[in-house]
Amino acid sequence: MSDCVFCKIRDGQIPSMRIDEDERTLTFMDINPLSPGHCLVVTKRHAPTLFEADVEDLKAAAATARRVAANDGKGFDWTPVPGDREAIMKTGERLRAALA
Ligand SMILES: [Zn+2]
């Protein structure tokens, strides 16, 4: 997809700090990190939305995220950046209600 930023990163048209790559996924550092280890795992195959992504690609992305986090040495125990607690709680409540 020519206008997709992630495809452009995948294809090297946009520079990135790649930290991992396999047949189905690409992992690179986030340009606006929320924590020191904030990186993105994307599927190499373009998918406009989660619902259009190949399930096997999603499985691979989850496995890659786990492997990358495990090798970070901190896992997911990264120091969070202070956020708007009230906004976070409201969003959490809305999502919890939607999932009920
Ligand atoms: Zn894409």
CATH fold label, 5-99 = HIT family, subunit A (3.30.428)
Ligand 1 centroid to Cα of residue 16, in Å, is 15
Ligand 1 centroid to Cα of residue 98, in Å, is 28
Ligand 1 centroid to Cα of residue 44, in Å, is 8
pTM (predicted TM-score) = 0.76
Domain-wise residue ranges, the chain: 5-99
Ligand 1 centroid to Cα of residue 5, in Å, is 6
Predicted local distance difference test score (pLDDT) of residue 67: 86
Which range (5-19, 54-68, 76-90) has the least confidence? 76-90
**Letter for the amino acid at 66?**
R
Mean local confidence (pLDDT), 92-99: 79
Mean local confidence (pLDDT), 58-74: 85
* DSSP labels, 14-43: S---EEEE-SSEEEEE-SS-SSTT-EEEEE
Ligand 1 centroid to Cα of residue 53, in Å, is 10
pLDDT, greater one: 85 or 39: 39
